C-alpha cells in the first residue's frame, strides 16, 4: 500500500470512529472506567451540607473559620489494546473481514480514551508479540496506532493468547484498562487470563463471522487452515463432518465464555454483520 492510499484509509477510519467516540462513547467510557482514586484539588470555606470529615483543621484554626479540603477524581488511566493479528482474522463472508471490524473497534476505543486524556498502548500478537507500542497520549499517537492496524504484516499466522497476556504483565506493572480483541479460536489461556484479570481491568471482545458457526453442505471442498496453512479435501456432505466442526467451534466459544466469566473479566461478542456500536454501548451501560 502506497503512502497516499494509507493516509486516505487512516483518515476514513478516523472520521468514522472519532464521530462515534465523540457523540456516543465519550461519556459512557468515562462513567464506566473510573480513575485510580481521589486527589486533592483545593481548600475552600465550609458550606452547609459539606462532609465534616473533610474539614481542614489547620486552615480552619488559621482563619478561625471552617474550611474543607476539596477532592476530585484522578482520571488519568492507561488503556492497552491487545489485537490478534493471526491468520484466522483474515476471514469474512459479508462486506468486511474480521480484522477490519477489530480495527474499527480498536480505533473507537482509542479515541474514547483520548477524550479523557488517557494514555493508549498497542500490542499486536500472533503466537508471538508482533508489535508493541508503549502507552502515550494524543491524536497523533492514536493515528499511529490506526496506521499500524491497517498496514502491519505479521510474521506468523498462528495464535497464542497466553504469551500475549504474559507479555502484558511484564510491560504493564500498574493497573490498566485492557481490551483483548480476537476470534478466540485458541486453547489453554484460562489460567493466565485469571492472573491478568486480577491485575488489570480486562475485557475480551470476540469478533466472529456467522459462517464460522457451521459448514454448509457443498459436497467435496478444498479447504485451507488460515493459521497452519494446511490444505485438505473436506466432504461437507457428511453429517458427521459438519457436526464435528460445529462441536469444535462451539467448544471454543464455550471455553471463551467460561474462561472470562470465571476470571472475573468482562466479555462481549461482536458478529461481523452486526452493529458493534450497540454491543459496546450495551456493555458500557451494564458496567457503569
pLDDT tens digits for range 187-199: 899 999 999 999 9
Asked if 159 and 271 sit in the same domain, the reply is: yes
Q: Which of 13, 47, 74 is the endpoint of a domain? A: 74
Q: Minimal CA–CA distance to 163: which of 135, 133, 196?
A: 196
Q: Are residues 160 and 63 in the same domain?
A: no
For residue 85 the three cell numbers come to 493479528
Q: Is the domain of 98 the same as that of 69?
A: no
Measure the CA–CA gap between 25 and 162, rounded to whole angstroms.
29
Q: Are residues 68 and 203 in the same domain?
A: no
> How many domains does the chain divide into?
2
* pLDDT per residue as tens digits for the range 111-122: 888 877 889 999
**What pLDDT, on a 0 to 100 scale, did the predictor assign at position 130?**
97
pLDDT at 28: 65
12-28 average pLDDT score: 66
| Banded pLDDT at 96 (limits 50, 70, 90) | confident
CB 122 within 8 A of CB 83: yes
Full 3-state SS string of the chain = CCHHHHHHHHHHHHHHHHHHHHHHHHHHHHHHCCCCEEEEEEEEECCCCCCHHHECHHHHHHHCCCEEEEEEEECCCEEEEEEECCHHHCCCCCCCCHHHHHHHHHHHHHHHHHHCCCEEEEEEECCCEEEEEEEECCHHHHHHHHHHHHHCCCCCCCCCHHHHHHHHHHHCCCCCEEEEEECCCCCCCHHHHHHHHHHCEEEEEEEECHHHCCCCCCCEEEEECCCCCCEEEEECCCHHHHHHHHHHHHHHHHHHHHHHHHHCCEEEEEECCCCHHHHHHHHHHHHC
Is the separation of the CB atoms in 120 and 142 below 8 Å? yes
Residues 52 and 104 in one domain: no
Residue 168: pLDDT band (50, 70, 90) is very high
* Average pLDDT score over residue span 147-171: 93
The verdict on 168 and 50 lying in the same domain is no
As a whole number of angstroms, the distance between CA 238 and CA 179 comes to 39
- How far is it, in rounded angstroms, from Cα 265 to Cα 202? 5
- Quote the pLDDT of residue 11: 72
46 has pLDDT over 80: yes
pTM score, whole prediction? 0.78
Domain boundary among 74, 95, 126: 74
Residues 3, 9: Cα–Cα separation, whole Å: 10
pLDDT at site 203: 96
pLDDT-based confidence at residue 123 (cuts at 50, 70, 90): very high
CB 213 within 8 A of CB 235: no
Do 256 and 269 reside in the same domain of the chain?
yes
Q: How far apart are CA 210 and CA 183, in angstroms?
A: 12
Residues 68 and 132 in one domain: no
Residue-wise pLDDT tens digits, 229-241: 778 888 888 889 8
Burial of 106 (C-beta count, 10 Å sphere; 0-12/13-18/19+): buried
Q: Examine the domain organization and report whether 256 and 152 are in the same domain.
A: yes
Which domain-ending residue is among 74, 94, 129? 74
Per-residue pLDDT for 35 more than 70?
no
Q: What pLDDT score does 236 carry?
A: 81
Is residue 209 scored above 60 in pLDDT?
yes
Asked if residue 276 and residue 135 are part of one domain, the reply reads: yes
Bridge partners, 266 (sequence order): 203
Cell readout for 272 is 461481523
In terms of domains, do 188 and 273 share one? yes
Nearest partner of 178 among 270, 108, 79, judged by Cα: 79
Residues 107 and 220 in one domain: yes
The whole domain housing 52 covers 37-74
> Residue 255 sits in a domain of what CATH number?
3.40.50.410
Amino acid at each position: 500500500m502506497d503512502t497516499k492510499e494509507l493516509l486516505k484509509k487512516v483518515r476514513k477510519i478516523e472520521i468514522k470512529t472519532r464521530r462515534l467516540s465523540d457523540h456516543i462513547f465519550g461519556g459512557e467510557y468515562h462513567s464506566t472506567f473510573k480513575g485510580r482514586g481521589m486527589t486533592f484539588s483545593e481548600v475552600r470555606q465550609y458550606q452547609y451540607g459539606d462532609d465534616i470529615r473533610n474539614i481542614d483543621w489547620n486552615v480552619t484554626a488559621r482563619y478561625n473559620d471552617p474550611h474543607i479540603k476539596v477532592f476530585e477524581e484522578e482520571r488519568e488511566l492507561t488503556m492497552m489494546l491487545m489485537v490478534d493479528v493471526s491468520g484466522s482474522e483474515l476471514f469474512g463472508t459479508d462486506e468486511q473481514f474480521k480484522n477490519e471490524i477489530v480495527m474499527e473497534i480498536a480505533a473507537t476505543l482509542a479515541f474514547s480514551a483520548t477524550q479523557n486524556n488517557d494514555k493508549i498502548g498497542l500490542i499486536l500478537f500472533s503466537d508471538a508479540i508482533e508489535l508493541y507500542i508503549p502507552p502515550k497520549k494524543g491524536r497523533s499517537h492514536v493515528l499511529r496506532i490506526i496506521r499500524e492496524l491497517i498496514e502491519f504484516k505479521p510474521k506468523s499466522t498462528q495464535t497464542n493468547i497466553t504469551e500475549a497476556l504474559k507479555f502484558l504483565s511484564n510491560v504493564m506493572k500498574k493497573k490498566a484498562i485492557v481490551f483483548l480483541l480476537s476470534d478466540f479460536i485458541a486453547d489453554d489461556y484460562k489460567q493466565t487470563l485469571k492472573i491478568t484479570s486480577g491485575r488489570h481491568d480486562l475485557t475480551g471482545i470476540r469478533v466472529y463471522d456467522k459462517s464460522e458457526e457451521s459448514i454448509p453442505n457443498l459436497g467435496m471442498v478444498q479447504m485451507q487452515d488460515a493459521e497452519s496453512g494446511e490444505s485438505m479435501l473436506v466432504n461437507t456432505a457428511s453429517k458427521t463432518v459438519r457436526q464435528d466442526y460445529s462441536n469444535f467451534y462451539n467448544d471454543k466459544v464455550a471455553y471463551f465464555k467460561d474462561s472470562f466469566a470465571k476470571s472475573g473479566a468482562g466479555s462481549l461478542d461482536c458478529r461481523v454483520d452486526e452493529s458493534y456500536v450497540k454491543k459496546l454501548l450495551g456493555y458500557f451501560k451494564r458496567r457503569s
